Structure 1
């Protein structure tokens, strides 16, 4: 994409990635008339359309959980909530209960990509999550610009650090919304994690060490496996995990596609793979947006999720099962369950199941 084409579609003022306008900017046609991230015959390219229905854009999962807790719904389905509707705009989410307004403002209005407020210190004012920009334009903890574009004030909050997009999204970008604290379902308040002062790293700080990641990644007391800290978020969570698959979910459990067995297999089966046969497959376009993508050619064997989503950064060649980091290009050998002493139950593939054995915390890494 050339600079002229990009700026010709600069709708939405200084936030063209806002989901209210992204169909025209990120989803509009290029200079040659070819559609970008919307309006394509290959649905996998229509990311602007799918992200609007993703659970991170709608926050439908939080609405569903709270309504079930209060006995307003018997199942995780929210009556009347439509595909792509933002939970904050759902009318009377607690059916008029006294804490309904607090729930809307302190919970439903936070974090989601459709203009939700990010959990930043009050001194910075209100900063909105602006759709595509939330992930693809890297920010620092103060959300201030550090580039040389004279049209953006360097001391004004609410902007990315630099004036360009990326798909090499490090964990500390995800931390601008995630791992900031927790919601109290009784008080309807968001509590910032007690060690928030340490979680200040951004990608300009250079390579992060294991110690850095231990203090940044998870809230104190949370369990994790070693791979969950060694890798960045996007090394596990798939494109459909993050940007949706076009379906409507009201549960994070249903919306997340990746499972431990997708990379590590089970006691009886190796991970699912496929040989690359079609040179027109979308995976061959990965190098356009990510220079860390390992060279790919016809006949190579890539991983697949159990739901059929391709994982082209994970490869099988001979006796080697390798994952390449989407952020740094570093490679990791993938340990398999087959032939190990793992006591895995194949039907139990949630992180909590694996954490029964593979349990670490920041205090006990």
Structure 2
């Protein structure tokens, strides 16, 4: 009986396998991957990754030898760029292993700058009751661990900021939020809607590219410093809905249903049509392998890279510039080309020296522009006393300024956590006092250069589970930050705009005048009349105008995180304002009094018979 059952069972199994085999559409000749026996028509993702050479398994894993759907798709990866699997896909040996390691340490993956700044501002400056210690040096990947660090600042990041980094899973939500994240794919993949699983022979594979469109950048860089908006001349306005459309609010909205205004775009876009990648290099974006916590430390490009370039002839059989130009396929290229170098030595292959001319090529379409690099030798760029001035200090037309970011934290409610995608206790809500887009104030960055600064002010109100306001746990943080506004104008500020404008110096909007032989500043906005914040009071408990970063004594009213950013001190303010009386007559950069203004000022004080005194 057992023999009969065994024979019947084996016969049945063989029959099933025979029928199943008959249904399989096996190829008539050997294939690299069995995938293409079903998916016969697959568009190449890009010329550098042809299906005929790479197949599907190389990137998407799975079982390349099986002709059975379930087995073939087992352990398959939909998004090879995901940083959780990238070491087995894009970053495997023989592919982009060096780049994958760099990307994991890049700021777009770690967000260490945001996490460090939040903790420094919130926890270092005020010991909050029951708060956990600072977790300095922590990055996004640490938050995905089994025992992630926790404190109020990190909780805020997880629920309000944690949806915009390279570790985030791509396609987890609809709209702009869903397009963010996904590791390598966040930047290099286009038309993500094509990535849906397609049960058909012809698959329209999402396109991959190194000619990254600015839309891929703006989907993330449209909040905080808002450089992705400012560059293209868009300013996120307050919720007034202007300009009105008839009797209704403006229909033009950013993501999150935010209104915006059209302002002056950056000259690189308005005149040359340059995209983000025309300036920013692979090293600056994907990192150089080091783990930074400040954007300008990782950034590879400077204004001088293009406007005062240093050229080098490309040599070697596998030079980086050769590979980048090959991938671009728009920029004309020849072996041994002379190209500019970035501050970290990255070849700027789209800025070339040709027959004594400096030619800049747009990466998206290869359009050439001949550049005049002689302007760096003009008097206003060599003026003594301006050595610390950054290009942005003079050439930035405007900067987003957000005054009074009001945060409420209610312990009685729950909110979804971006990192674990679960609801957790404590809900944050954000509101703003007012937004401005006026001329940038200036300050000092890293004690090295004069740079545009903008306020970063947080008024945090904490409520317990019964809705009671917790004064001991609530706090104000009055900060400034320094960043490139990406609103470059060809025409720079005039002398008076810096040396006589209290807003630019950091005093705020108002009137600066002399009274009794002393300088006096009368602010336009006055916060000192606001009632202190006690109980249910609506006062902001600040004794100075929100747009005042420093007073005439040089005492900082607001400062940057750590020692990175500060307003001008008294000595610097006095030096700036001392030039003002002279500008009415001496209005040329080439005026000889500016050859050594300190000496000229001394002569003015002690010598007689000068024209100024007549």
Q: Same fold (TM over 0.5)?
A: yes
Work out whether residues 170 and 182 of structure 2, in 8 Å CA contact, stay in contact via their aligned partners in 1: no
Q: 1:85 to 1:227 in 2, by over 3 A?
A: same
In the alignment, which residue of structure 1 is the partner of 2:417?
Answer: none
Question: How far 1:118 moved relative to its partner?
Answer: 8.7
In the alignment, which residue of structure 2 is the partner of 1:284?
Answer: 322
Work out whether residues 238 and 258 of structure 1, in 8 Å CA contact, stay in contact via their aligned partners in 2: yes
Q: 1:343 to 1:73 in 2, by over 3 A?
A: same
2:391 is aligned with 1:327 = no
2:219 is aligned with 1:176 = yes
Query: What does the per-residue CA deviation read over 1:25-83, in whole Å, with 9 as the maximum and x for residues that have no partner?
Result: 11225xxxxx0101xxxxxxx21111111001111111122122224389xxx85526x
Work out whether residues 90 and 96 of structure 2, in 8 Å CA contact, stay in contact via their aligned partners in 1: yes
**Aligned-pair Cα RMSD in Å:** 3.8
Question: How far 1:237 moved relative to its partner?
Answer: 0.6
Cα separation, 2, equivalents of 1:360 and 1:354: 5
How is 1:1-365 mapped onto 2 (pairs within 5 angstroms)?
Answer: 1-4=49-52, 5-9=54-58, 10-11=60-61, 13-29=77-93, 35-38=94-97, 46-72=98-124, 80-81=136-137, 86=141, 88-89=143-144, 96-97=151-152, 100-107=154-161, 109-115=162-168, 126=178, 129-139=181-191, 144-145=193-194, 150-151=198-199, 163-179=206-222, 181-182=223-224, 193=236, 197=252, 225-229=266-270, 230-265=273-308, 271-298=309-336, 300-336=337-373, 337-340=375-378, 342-343=380-381, 345=386, 347-349=388-390, 351-355=392-396, 359-360=488-489
Cα separation, 2, equivalents of 1:254 and 1:86: 21
Question: How far 1:335 moved relative to its partner?
Answer: 3.3
Greater shift, 280-289 or 165-174, is seen at 280-289
Structure in which a larger fraction of residues adopt strand? 2
Cα separation, 2, equivalents of 1:118 and 1:128: 8
Cα separation, 2, equivalents of 1:303 and 1:183: 29
Unaligned runs of 5+ in 1: 30-34, 39-45, 153-160, 185-191, 201-218, 266-270
Q: 1:335 to 1:166 in 2, by over 3 A?
A: same
Unaligned runs of 5+ in 2: 1-48, 62-75, 127-133, 227-234, 238-249, 399-486, 491-614
Cα separation, 2, equivalents of 1:125 and 1:284: 35
Work out whether residues 119 and 154 of structure 2, in 8 Å CA contact, stay in contact via their aligned partners in 1: no
Query: SS of 1:313's equivalent?
Result: strand
Structure with the greater relative contact order (CA < 8 A, sep ≥ 6): 1 or 2?
Answer: 1
Question: How far 1:348 moved relative to its partner?
Answer: 3.8
The count of residues paired between Structure 1 and Structure 2 equals 297
Larger gyration radius, structure 1 or structure 2? 2
Question: How far 1:199 moved relative to its partner?
Answer: 6.1
Cα separation, 2, equivalents of 1:353 and 1:19: 40
